[in-house]
């Protein structure tokens, strides 16, 4: 094919969870955006479990929604079971999770992309970059097309030089059924000089419902709460799942399953040294569980439907890279799965990733400031983590194309801010995944208030439409009025707010006191009441967190120029000097989070920055 040239503001490479949000965010900002992806039928594919949300991840989905992104509303369309996790703990760490119809999710996301202005999707494999005068100004594809652009987002997931492992068999692949992306990997390291490492992950087998005996399994029903992921209910024409309450099932592996694993460890690519990539501790393979926890006789497994119109079930908890015949033996040793037929075998995948110390908090590559990376390529794991980063990268790619500085989300604003800060400040030794424990401001970063935290920022940045912002403002005003009223009005000598405190965060408790003009037959008013019950419960603690946020913001206001010379700061230890010079923190607050940088070294930096600032202003 002859070389064709087209021109865009932003090109996004990869239509996975990161790439979709990146392309949508960029287009929302008005940038002419091109999304290149290897297979348009595989857009937003859930490579692993058919679910969105979960602990800390559910918060991210709500944040994406508050920032005008798509993951929340697409999940609502594709939901076949909804649960609020962590209900046994305080409401600060409750996390929504939805089982999804995988195919419905993909179709709805493709529909969203296709119907977004300023955005074109094109099926092609990006293979390299066009560089002119030391600047990246385009992307080349396998079919020798050249697309010119002002900035690029790379969100290629597990595809970079991907290698699939089924026992001792291995071959190149981006994930099962997809080719790897090897030329782009070479371009990132060879052409751009970006340092790449190797990580690994794995997925369990899928089995057919008609071959499963569910009769003795524990049923896990949908909680079918009225809550949805999205704050902005809309009458969209998305493809939708109709069954909203499909059950999941719980089973336990047996002693025999563990014996089969032990007898076949020599066929495991991990234990025989065939896999060099580093995997996750928190999401271990089944063989890892058996070896690391020999005292556990059984392990809990969840059978999760992959959708409304499919027989396939995902078996959560039995990810493995053992050979196909061993997988059959393993499953047949589990009650109810004696006759189970595997539709897709489990496997492990190794892939290249970009060491994220080479990117900044806006997700730009430090030495190529108009190229942004997002998702699995940055060493993270999970659809939600990928989508959150995608939104940040798309936003900043569009800003960069428009000559603006990248926007950085603070840790006090969102889990997205926690993640981007962690990624570029801490050393990545295994795939990064969000937990609520990673956030120091957990009481503020709740799933129920992401709109209050982020809609005003999103509207200012151009990520949230006027219509959605108006919807949010109406709600926020009503909430503020109700809170003010509850703090004033009294019942039996106590303010209503004090009465709310006595509910100890129990949002489903019976209310035995007046609640002003809130009408709990209305969903919006019920939400206001729930939110005030939570706020009242944490009131004192939230005040304390807000004070500590103020202190953090003081340090965040101390900006460190990208060309800051750490050698000129006398008194820094060599180790700190090296780390600071490598990570190039953008603020004193970020510098304070680098492992090993001491408070006295921070003071030295502060004094030095003040000197630079004074010189500039005099």
Ligand X SMILES: Cc1cc2nc3c(=O)[nH]c(=O)nc-3n(C[C@H](O)[C@H](O)[C@H](O)COP(=O)(O)OP(=O)(O)OC[C@H]3O[C@@H](n4cnc5c(N)ncnc54)[C@H](O)[C@@H]3O)c2cc1C
Instruction: Out of 120, 137, 209, 283, name the contact with ligand X by CB under 6 A.
Output: 283
> Which positions from 104 through 163 interact with ligand X, judged by CB under 6 A?
125-126, 155-159
Closest to ligand X by CB, 42 vs 110, is: 42
Instruction: Out of 10, 11, 12, 18, name the contact with ligand X by CB under 6 A.
Output: 18
For the beta carbon of residue 123, count every other beta carbon within 10 angstroms.
16
Tell me whether strands 163-166 and 169-172 are parallel, antiparallel or unpaired: antiparallel
For the beta carbon of residue 405, count every other beta carbon within 10 angstroms.
11
47 part of the interface to ligand X, by CB under 6 A: yes
**CB-side neighbour CA atoms (13 Å) of 21:** 34
Contacts with ligand X, 551-590, as mask; x by CB under 6 A: ----------------------------------------
In whole angstroms, give the CA distance from residue 411 to residue 590: 10
13 part of the interface to ligand X, by CB under 6 A: yes
Closest to ligand X by CB, 125 vs 483, is: 125
Instruction: Out of 8, 15, 251, 535, name the contact with ligand X by CB under 6 A.
Output: 15
> Which positions from 243 through 282 interact with ligand X, judged by CB under 6 A?
none
349 part of the interface to ligand X, by CB under 6 A: yes
Q: Compute the least distance from the CB of residue 351 to ligand X, in Å.
A: 8
E strand or H helix at 501: helix 496-501
Closest to ligand X by CB, 178 vs 308, is: 178
Instruction: Out of 75, 79, 106, 181, name the contact with ligand X by CB under 6 A.
Output: 181
Please give the distance of CA 111 from its chain centroid, rounded to a whole number. Answer: 21
In whole angstroms, give the CA distance from residue 232 to residue 156: 30
Q: Compute the least distance from the CB of residue 318 to ligand X, in Å.
A: 11
Length in residues, the chain: 618
Q: Compute the least distance from the CB of residue 180 to ligand X, in Å.
A: 8
Q: How far apart are the first and last CA of the chain?
A: 60
Residue 186 burial by CB count (10 A; 0-12/13-18/19+): exposed, middle or buried? middle
> Which positions from 396 through 455 interact with ligand X, judged by CB under 6 A?
none
E strand or H helix at 196: strand 196-203
Closest to ligand X by CB, 41 vs 524, is: 41
376 part of the interface to ligand X, by CB under 6 A: yes
Please give the distance of CA 152 from its chain centroid, rounded to a whole number. Answer: 20
Contact 318, 253 (CB under 8 A): yes
Instruction: Out of 11, 25, 27, 36, name the contact with ligand X by CB under 6 A.
Output: 36
For the beta carbon of residue 111, count every other beta carbon within 10 angstroms.
17
Tell me whether strands 79-85 and 135-141 are parallel, antiparallel or unpaired: unpaired
Q: Compute the least distance from the CB of residue 12 to ligand X, in Å.
A: 9
Q: Compute the least distance from the CB of residue 17 to ligand X, in Å.
A: 4
SS3 label, residue 371: strand
201 part of the interface to ligand X, by CB under 6 A: yes
Closest to ligand X by CB, 284 vs 516, is: 284
In whole angstroms, give the CA distance from residue 584 to residue 366: 9
Write out the residues near ligand X by the rule CB under 6 A. 13-19, 36-39, 42, 47-48, 125-126, 155-159, 174-175, 178, 181, 184, 201-203, 283, 349, 375-376, 381-383, 386
């Amino acid at each position: 094919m002859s070389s064709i040239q087209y021109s865009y503001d932003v090109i996004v490479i990869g239509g996975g969870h990161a790439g979709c949000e990146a392309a949508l965010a960029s287009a929302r900002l008005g940038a002419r955006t091109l999304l290149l992806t290897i297979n348009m039928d595989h857009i937003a594919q859930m490579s692993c479990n058919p679910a969105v949300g979960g602990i800390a991840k559910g918060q991210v989905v709500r944040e994406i929604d508050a920032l005008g992104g798509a993951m929340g509303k697409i999940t609502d369309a594709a939901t076949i079971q909804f649960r609020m996790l962590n209900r046994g703990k305080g409401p600060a760490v409750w996390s929504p999770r939805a089982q999804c119809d995988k195919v419905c999710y993909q179709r709805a996301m493709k529909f969203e992309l296709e119907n977004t202005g300023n955005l074109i999707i094109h099926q092609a494999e990006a293979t390299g970059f066009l560089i002119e005068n030391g600047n990246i100004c385009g992307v080349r594809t396998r079919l020798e097309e050249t697309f010119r652009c002002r900035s690029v987002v790379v969100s290629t997931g597990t595809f970079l030089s991907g290698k699939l492992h089924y026992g001792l068999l291995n071959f190149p692949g981006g994930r099962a059924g997809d080719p790897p992306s090897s030329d782009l990997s070479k371009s990132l390291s060879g052409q751009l000089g970006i340092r790449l490492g190797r990580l690994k992950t794995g997925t369990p087998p899928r089995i057919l419902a008609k071959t499963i005996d569910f009769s003795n399994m524990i049923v896990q029903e949908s909680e079918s709460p009225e809550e949805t992921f999205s704050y902005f209910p809309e009458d969209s024409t998305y493809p939708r799942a109709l069954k909203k309450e499909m059950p999941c099932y719980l089973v336990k592996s047996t002693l025999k399953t563990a014996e089969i694993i032990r007898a076949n460890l020599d066929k495991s690519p991990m234990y025989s040294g065939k896999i060099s990539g580093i995997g996750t501790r928190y999401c271990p393979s089944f063989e890892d569980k058996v070896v690391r926890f020999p005292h556990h006789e059984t392990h809990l497994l969840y059978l999760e439907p992959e959708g409304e119109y499919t027989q396939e079930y995902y078996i959560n908890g039995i990810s493995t890279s053992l050979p196909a015949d061993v997988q059959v033996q393993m499953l047949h040793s589990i009650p109810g799965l004696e006759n189970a037929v595997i539709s897709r075998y489990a496997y492990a995948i190794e892939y290249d990733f970009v060491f994220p110390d080479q990117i900044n908090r806006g997700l730009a590559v430090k030495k190529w400031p108009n190229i942004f990376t997002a998702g699995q390529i940055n060493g993270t794991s999970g659809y939600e983590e990928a989508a959150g980063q995608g939104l940040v990268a798309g936003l900043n790619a569009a800003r960069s194309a428009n000559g603006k500085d990248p926007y950085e989300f603070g840790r006090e604003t969102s889990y997205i801010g926690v993640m981007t800060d962690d990624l570029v400040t801490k050393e990545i030794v295994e795939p990064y995944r969000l937990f609520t424990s990673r956030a120091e401001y957990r009481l503020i970063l709740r799933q129920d208030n992401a709109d209050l935290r982020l809609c005003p920022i999103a509207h200012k940045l151009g990520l949230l439409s006027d219509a959605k912002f108006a919807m949010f403002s109406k709600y926020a005003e009503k909430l503020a009025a109700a809170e003010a009223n509850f703090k004033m009005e009294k019942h039996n000598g106590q303010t209503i707010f004090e009465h709310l405190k006595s509910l100890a965060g129990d949002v489903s408790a019976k209310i035995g006191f007046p609640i002003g003009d809130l009408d709990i037959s209305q969903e919006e008013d019920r939400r206001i009441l729930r939110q005030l019950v939570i706020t009242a419960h944490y009131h004192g603690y939230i005040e304390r967190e807000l004070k500590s946020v103020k202190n953090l913001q003081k340090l965040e206001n101390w900006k460190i120029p990208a060309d800051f010379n750490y050698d000129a700061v006398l008194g820094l230890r060599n180790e700190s000097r090296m780390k600071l010079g490598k990570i190039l923190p953008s603020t004193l607050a970020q510098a304070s989070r680098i492992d090993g940088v001491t408070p006295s070294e921070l003071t030295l930096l502060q004094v030095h920055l003040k000197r630079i600032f004074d010189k500039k202003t005099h």
